[in-house]
Amino acid sequence: MQYPMKFLLSISIWLAAGASILNAQAMSGETFFNALVEVSGHAISGIMVIKNDVQDENRCRILFTTIAGPKLMDMHITRDDCEILYVTKKLRKKFILRLFQKDFALVSGLYLSDRNKDCAADSCSVKLSKKKSAHYLYDAQNRIVRAEYRGRGKPLFAAVYTYNNKDNPESIILQHYNFRMKITLTAINSTCTD
């Protein structure tokens, strides 16, 4: 299968642009990661770009592509839904798409835009429904260090953040608790800023 040169060129331009800073409230701009998705003994790796929507702060775009350039997944997500722009046949399952939507709504901070959030000095909790909630923990520099998505009081999955010396995310590890799925995101060129 051939991919248009324009698409491959745009991916290489995105990679040359570097990564942006993740602050305690949300990701701003475009953030580039090496991504490794492990599900029940199977693994897929590539590059993930998370881009917050400039016109709508409650929406972001997730692009997951292989190192060589072909897209695996491209979608807009909100805290409650996703709009699929492209998904490869192997990932085109409702369950997988819903997981990605929930995972990256949590990681990108989309739940923090809720007006009904309950924040303290080092944490924020957002009630999403009667049985589901999102929880964020902060460090002394007001950076997210852990985010959890809970159902019926039990953690369903968590994201653990590590940072470099300039407050950029060095890595984000998402771990699911009710089945074997782990997503490891490692920042590409994490010393660059916008």
Locate 121 and state its tokens. 């000095």
Alpha carbon separation from 4 to 11, 44, 78 (Å, rounded): 11, 23, 29
pTM, full prediction? 0.76
Per CATH, domain 5-187 is 1.20.1280: no
- Spatial neighbors of 83 by CB under 8 A, at least 6 apart, are 75, 76, 77
Locate 190 and state its tokens. 């994490």
Per-residue pLDDT for the chain (194 aa), expressed as one digit of tens each? 344 434 333 333 333 332 222 222 234 468 889 999 998 888 889 999 988 887 777 899 999 998 887 899 999 999 888 999 999 988 888 888 888 899 999 988 888 877 678 888 899 999 888 888 999 999 988 889 999 999 988 999 999 999 987 777 889 999 999 888 899 999 986 444 44
Q: Where are the domains of the chain?
A: 5-187
Would you say 168 and 187 are in contact if contact means Cβ atoms under 8 Å apart? Answer: yes
